[in-house]
């Protein structure tokens, strides 16, 4: 009964979405308040029904109802309870259900918190949101029904893919989807603005918090996924330039550009046309990511061609929304009025510079990800585009961007003083050079890239702090005064400084990990010792241990530093009989921001076990950098001007007709 | 496709957890071994999802790692090893495709986008600047003069 209830609730959600997609739009056309207000209530009701549908699937999983095909394929009665919850979205159908749940959630949030929006804008935004929802409800109901039943229920399920049996699955996909799908709001706002043909600084202020929220979640989702891959895959990599990763990175980069260009639009009423385009592109990239991951096109163009039902459906959604969005843009954007002019050297100019390089970086990832697919489809030639390509193209594009970061906040709007800003950055430049020299001296003949990377990272971090330090007068006025001024600074200024500082942290971690990573690959018997960077690890013994739905071989290592015992590490290998698969569980020892990383290989015929040991200096800065960046976003989000909403200027000024 | 559709994320797409380079593969000569590792990171494990042979634990990746080490021990230069593998397996084996007619677009795209976007902004700024300038068009000037004359 439960699965049928869930299925039915989803159909009802589709019906509600159809109403929400049409009635409010008509209301906005005819200026009928009653019709427009339908949008809010249907958005809320839609969310309730999708949530009910999602709850029904969850209930099937928790009850291990193997008469449901989806549960049978992805669950096992002996699986720990937490994985029964997370395996709801650990498969294609369920993850699409999570996708629409989050889409409906955002729609409901706009309905709840969008009270300060003009009625017609709100109606249009929610209508566009509902078009997207309709497309994806249909996709699920037609091609990917999670509630399909089996005629004869098997006694036991096939278990969840063992790699997914990890707490990472509980956190990573929901965060990622909150980001991916969150950008649909920016998209809907843009389409609504194009339909209305009016757009102004207030629009940027309304759309900015939503973009910021999506951007934060996406950053967390990507970082979390990266850390999960790092500890789960057993060879210590944290970014692989895999198409699936690229699919989530592209909307994040475009979203970063969007956040910056929206600032220009909000403050100076300029870059409107570009901001709208970026908002459309950002969500288009989210859709593209969904297509890449969900269609199977990544495995091979040929699998896509042999089982095309899902792929073609999403491709259709892609064409309609991206094509439609861009066509509407091409038609309506020229009518939008351009505002605020500025000199090339100015805050606006710096933000345009940021947008240029982020766009190019995003395009690099886009082309690198899709080129092999396109080439194979068009000419049959097979090529690979992997990490070495991206390191060579994407990396250099970020260098000018990172150099420019500290300049941005120091330049005045309209017309800035580059030389003046450079002088104010002297401390940052000096400390960067000191860090460069120190690195050069310490590593004596180590990797060439490291000193420059570390120098740049220190420059970015110090440079990010210059603005708040100057504005609070720290080091010049008494500390209490500086503190009082610090409290008075707009939160968005703090957010900028913190997020830019985090970019430096991230770079520091990336450079340190990639350049100074130490590795030992050895075959060990109990009693053997392996050493790396002053740590001595002795293998005490191997012991089997039973788990709920797996068997585990644990290796116990004692870690010593200068003879003193520091810790005991227990990396393991798990075998999951149901799927005939095994996973390695790496053991990590964190010291400061650095980590020892230990994982196991195969046991040889002589009883020796292969062991992989890494020392990864400063590796945690990579993910801490991402977390601090999100904190910066949160600070910015708490800024008063976003919290209280846009001031309502006289009606005429707020709604410039586009003509 | 079936198995893949189930896997939600990168992790699963990156195939099963790997152990990659195994202890007995490692060459005694550290200089040769580090060259072998660097080369391995540029070569694709052709049966895997976007994994280098250095990262993959697939049997094919192991064979290729051993092959690379054999060639290096035999005295091949890095580029000779690469040429040998390309001759044997085609360009698909390279994770960084060579610059050629059919990869020209790939390599040029980042810079082309940067240039196009830059020109776009410059053009837009010009347009905005001229639209916002106070100067009147000759037409407007004539109309104002006409109005002034009337009065």
> Are B18 and A296 an interchain contact pair (Cβ–Cβ within 8 Å)?
no
Q: Is residue A428 within 8 Å of residue A406, measured between CB atoms?
A: yes
- Residue B132 confidence (pLDDT) above 80: no
Q: Taking 90 as the threshold, does the pLDDT of residue A167 lie above it?
A: no
Q: Which of A21, A546, A118, A586 is nearest to A321 (CA)?
A: A21
- The answer, for A173 touching chain B at a CB cutoff of 8 Å, is yes
Residue B137: is its pLDDT beyond 80? Answer: no
What is residue A352's predicted lDDT score, i.e. its pLDDT?
92
Residue A365: closest CA among chain B residues belongs to which residue?
Answer: B110
Q: What are phi and psi of A154, to 5 degrees?
A: -70, 160
Chain B residues whose CB is inside 8 A of the A72 CB are: none
CB contact under 8 A, B102 and A375: yes
Residue B143: C-alpha distances to residues A521, B135, B149 (Å):
85, 14, 10
B89 inside 8 A of chain A by CB: no
pLDDT score of B17: 41
pLDDT at residue A473 greater than cutoff 90: no
Q: Judge whether residue B129 has pLDDT over 50.
A: yes
Tell me which residue in A274, A356, A363 faces B109 most closely, judged by beta carbons. Answer: A363
- Residue B9, pLDDT > 60, answer no
**pLDDT at residue A276 above 60?**
yes
User: Which of A109, A275, A299, A297 has the alpha carbon at shortest distance from A190?
Assistant: A275
Greater confidence, A293 or A590? Answer: A590
Q: Which of A32-41, A49-58, A155-164, B127-136 is predicted most confidently?
A: A49-58
Condensed to tens digits (0 to 9), the pLDDT of residues A181-235 reads 999 999 999 999 998 887 878 888 888 999 999 999 999 999 999 999 898 887 7
| Averaged pLDDT for residues B48-68 | 87
**Chain B residues closer than 8 Å to A584 by CB:** 17, 19
Q: What mean pLDDT is reported for chain A?
A: 90
Confidence of residue B149 (pLDDT cuts 50, 70, 90): confident
Q: What is the pLDDT of residue A415?
A: 87
- Please report the pLDDT score of residue A559 as a whole number: 96
Question: Is the pLDDT at B119 greater than 50, yes or no?
Answer: yes
Highest mean pLDDT: which range of A94-103, B4-13, B53-62: A94-103
- Residues with Cβ within 8 Å of A499's Cβ and at least 6 positions away in sequence, in order, are A628, A629, A632, A633, A636
pLDDT above 90: residue B51: no
Is the predicted pLDDT of residue A364 greater than 60, yes or no? yes
A188-192, A444-448, A468-472: least confident range: A444-448
β-strand partners of A582: A575
Return the closest-CA partner of residue B5 out of A296, A299, A158.
Answer: A296
Residue listed under structure tokens 């990869």: B103
Give the residue with greater pLDDT, A158 vs A56: A56
CA A55 to chain centroid: 25
Percent of chain A with pLDDT over 90: 63
| Overall average pLDDT of the A333-359 stretch | 86
> Which candidate from B5, B24, B51 shows the least CB-CB separation from A92?
B5
Q: What is the C-alpha to C-alpha distance for residues B126 and A349, in angstroms, rounded to an integer?
A: 14
Q: Does B131 touch chain A (CB under 8 A)?
A: yes
A587 - beta bridge partners?
A598
- The residues facing A144 across adjacent strands are none
Please say if the pLDDT value at position B7 is more than 90.
no
A497-506 pLDDT per residue, tens? 999 999 999 9
Q: What is the DSSP string of A124-165?
A: HHHHHHHHHHHHHHHHHHHH--TTPBPSS--SS-----GGG-
Q: How far apart are CA B131 and CA B146, in angstroms?
A: 23
Q: pLDDT of A581-604, one tens digit each?
A: 888 899 999 999 999 999 998 888
Average pLDDT of the residues in A640-645 = 60
Mean pLDDT of A39-65: 96
Which band of pLDDT confidence, cut at 50, 70 and 90, is reported for residue B126?
confident
Identify the weakest region by mean pLDDT among A275-279, A483-487, A653-657.
Answer: A653-657
Judge contact between A47 and A108, C-beta under 8 A: yes
Residue B1 has pLDDT above 60, yes or no: no
A614 touches chain B (CB under 8 A): no
Which residues, at least 6 apart from B81, have a Cβ–Cβ distance to it below 8 Å? B39, B68, B71, B72
Two structure tokens written together for A311: 């792929």
Closest by Cβ to B4, choosing from A233, A299, A388? A299
Task: Kindly identify which residue of chain A lies nearest to residue B25, measuring between CA atoms.
Answer: A521
Report pLDDT for A510. Answer: 95
Q: In what order do the strands lie in the sheet with A594-603?
A: A518-524, A609-616, A594-603, A587-591
Question: In the structure encoding, which two tokens stand for residue A526, read together?
Answer: 């109990």
CA A342/CA A415 separation, integer angstroms: 6
Per-residue model confidence as pLDDT tens digits over A10-33: 999 999 999 999 999 999 989 999
| Per-residue confidence (pLDDT) for residue A65, from 0 to 100 | 93
Looking at beta carbons, which residues of chain A come within 8 Å of B50?
240-243, 384, 386
Which residue is listed with tokens 């749940």? Answer: A101
Q: What is the number of alpha carbons within 13 Å of residue B20 lying toward its C-beta?
A: 26
Q: Inter-chain contact B8–A392, Cβ cutoff 8 Å? A: no
The runs of H, that is alpha helices, within A144-271 are 167-196, 201-232, 243-268
3-class SS at B72?
A: helix
With 80 as the cut, is the pLDDT of residue A301 above it? no
Cβ contacts (< 8 Å) between B16 and chain A: which residues? Answer: 163, 581-583
What separation, in Å, do the N-terminal and C-terminal C-alpha atoms of chain B show?
82
- A26 closest CA partner among A115, A129, A120, A130: A120
Rounded to a whole number of angstroms, the distance between the first and last alpha carbons of chain A is 56
**Could you give the angle at the alpha carbon of A39 between the alpha carbons of A38 and A42, nearest 5°?**
80
B126 interfacial to chain A (CB closer than 8 Å): no
According to the model, what pLDDT value does residue A199 have? 82
Q: How confident is the model at residue A390 (pLDDT cuts 50, 70, 90)?
A: very high
CA distance A386 to chain B (A): 5
Q: Is the pLDDT of residue B25 over 60?
A: yes
Average pLDDT, chain B: 80
Q: CA-CA distance, A406 to A32, in Å (whole number)?
A: 49
Q: How far apart are CA B16 and CA A233, in angstroms?
A: 8
Query: How far are the Cα atoms of A191, B25, B53 from residue B62, in angstroms, in the given order?
Result: 52, 9, 7
Q: Is the pLDDT of residue B134 over 60?
A: no
Going by their DSSP bridges, the two strands A518-524 and A609-616 should be labelled as antiparallel
Complex confidence, ipTM = 0.82
CB contact (8 A) between residue B42 and residue A388? yes
Residue B139's pLDDT is what? 80
Task: Say how far apart CA B90 and CA A260 lie, in whole Å.
Answer: 43
pLDDT category of residue A302 using cuts at 50, 70 and 90: low
Give the 3-state secondary structure of residue A389.
helix
- Looking at domain B2-98, what is its CATH homologous superfamily? Cytochrome C biogenesis protein (1.10.8.640)
CB A176 within 8 A of CB A221: yes
Annotated domain spans of chain B: 2-98, 102-150
* B99 in contact with A, Cβ within 8 Å: no
Chain A hits for B42, CB-CB cut-off 8 Å, are 388
Rounded to two decimals, the pTM is 0.90
* Secondary structure string (H, E, C) spanning A69-129: HHHHHHCCCCCCHHHHHHCCCCCHHHHHHHHHHHHHHHHHHHHHHHHHCCHHHHHHHHHHH
B78 shares contact with chain A (CB less than 8 Å): no
């Amino acid at each position: 009964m439960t699965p049928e209830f869930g299925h039915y609730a989803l159909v009802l959600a589709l019906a509600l979405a159809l109403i929400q997609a049409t009635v409010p739009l008509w209301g906005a056309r005819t200026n009928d308040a009653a019709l427009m207000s339908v949008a809010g209530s249907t958005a809320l009701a839609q969310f309730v029904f999708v949530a009910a549908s999602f709850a029904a699937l969850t209930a099937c999983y928790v009850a291990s109802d193997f008469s449901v095909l989806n549960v049978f394929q992805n669950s096992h009665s002996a699986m720990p309870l937490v994985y029964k919850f997370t395996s709801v979205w650990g498969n294609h159908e369920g993850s699409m259900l999570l996708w629409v749940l989050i889409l409906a959630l955002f729609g409901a949030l706009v309905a709840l918190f969008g009270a300060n929006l003009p009625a017609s804008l709100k109606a249009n935004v929610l209508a566009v949101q509902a078009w997207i929802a309709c497309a994806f409800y249909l996709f699920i109901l037609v091609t990917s029904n999670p509630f399909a039943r089996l005629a004869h229920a098997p006694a036991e399920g096939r278990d969840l893919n063992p790699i997914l049996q990890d707490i990472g699955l509980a956190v990573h996909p929901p965060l990622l989807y909150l980001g991916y799908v969150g950008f649909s709001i920016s998209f809907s706002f843009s389409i609504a603005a194009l339909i209305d043909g009016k757009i102004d600084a207030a629009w940027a202020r309304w759309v900015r918090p939503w973009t910021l929220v999506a951007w934060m979640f996406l950053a967390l989702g990507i970082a979390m996924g990266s850390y999960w891959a790092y500890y789960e895959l057993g060879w210590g990599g944290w970014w692989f330039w895999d198409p699936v990763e690229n699919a989530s990175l592209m909307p994040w980069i475009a979203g970063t550009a969007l956040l910056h260009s929206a600032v220009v639009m909000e403050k100076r009423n300029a870059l409107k046309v570009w901001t709208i385009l970026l908002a459309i592109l950002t969500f288009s990239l989210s859709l593209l990511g969904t297509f890449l991951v969900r269609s199977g096109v990544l495995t091979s163009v040929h699998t896509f061609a042999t089982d095309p039902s899902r792929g073609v459906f999403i491709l259709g959604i892609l064409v309609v929304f991206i094509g439609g969005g861009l066509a509407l843009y091409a038609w309506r954007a020229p009518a939008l009025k351009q505002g605020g002019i500025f000199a090339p050297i100015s805050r606006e100019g710096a933000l345009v510079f940021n947008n240029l390089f982020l766009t190019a970086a995003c395009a690099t990832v886009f082309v690198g990800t899709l080129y092999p697919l396109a080439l194979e489809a068009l000419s049959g030639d097979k090529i690979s585009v992997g990490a070495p390509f991206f390191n060579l193209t994407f990396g250099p594009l970020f260098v000018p961007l990172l150099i420019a970061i500290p300049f941005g906040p120091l330049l005045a709007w309209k017309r800035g003083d580059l030389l003046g800003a450079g002088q104010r950055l002297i401390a940052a430049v000096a400390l960067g050079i000191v860090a460069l020299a120190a690195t050069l001296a310490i590593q004596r003949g180590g990797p060439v890239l490291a000193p420059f990377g570390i120098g740049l990272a220190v420059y970015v971090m110090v440079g990010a702090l210059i603005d708040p330090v100057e504005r609070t007068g720290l080091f010049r006025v008494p500390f209490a005064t500086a503190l009082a001024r610090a409290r008075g600074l707009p939160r968005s200024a703090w957010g900028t400084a913190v997020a830019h500082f985090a970019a430096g942290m991230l770079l520091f971690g990336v450079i340190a990990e990639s350049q100074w990573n130490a590795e030992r690959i050895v075959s060990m018997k109990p009693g053997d010792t392996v050493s790396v960077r002053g740590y001595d690890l002795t293998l005490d013994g191997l012991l089997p241990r039973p788990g709920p739905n797996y068997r585990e071989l644990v290796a116990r290592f004692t870690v010593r530093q200068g003879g003193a015992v520091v810790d005991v590490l227990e990396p393991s290998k798990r075998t999951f009989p149901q799927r005939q698969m095994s996973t390695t569980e790496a053991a990590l020892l964190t010291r400061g921001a650095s980590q020892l990383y230990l994982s196991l290989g195969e046991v040889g015929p002589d009883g020796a076990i292969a062991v992989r040991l890494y020392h990864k200096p400063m590796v945690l800065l990579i993910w801490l950098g991402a977390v601090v960046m999100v904190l910066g976003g949160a600070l910015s989000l708490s800024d008063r001007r976003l919290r209280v909403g846009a001031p309502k200027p006289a009606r005429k000024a707020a709604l410039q007709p586009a003509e | 496709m079936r198995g893949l559709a189930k896997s939600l994320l990168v992790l699963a797409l990156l195939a099963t957890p790997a152990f990659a380079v195994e202890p007995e593969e490692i060459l005694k000569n550290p200089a040769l071994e580090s060259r072998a590792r660097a080369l391995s990171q540029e070569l694709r494990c052709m049966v895997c999802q976007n994994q280098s042979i250095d990262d993959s634990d697939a049997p094919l990746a192991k064979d290729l790692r051993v092959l690379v080490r054999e060639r290096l021990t035999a005295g091949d230069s890095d580029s000779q090893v690469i040429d040998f593998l390309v001759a044997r397996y085609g360009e698909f084996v390279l994770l960084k495709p060579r610059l050629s007619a059919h990869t020209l677009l790939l390599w040029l795209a980042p810079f082309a986008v940067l240039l196009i976007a830059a020109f776009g902004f410059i053009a837009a700024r010009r347009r905005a600047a001229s639209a916002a300038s106070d100067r009147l068009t000759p037409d407007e000037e004539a109309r104002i003069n006409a109005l002034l004359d009337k009065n």
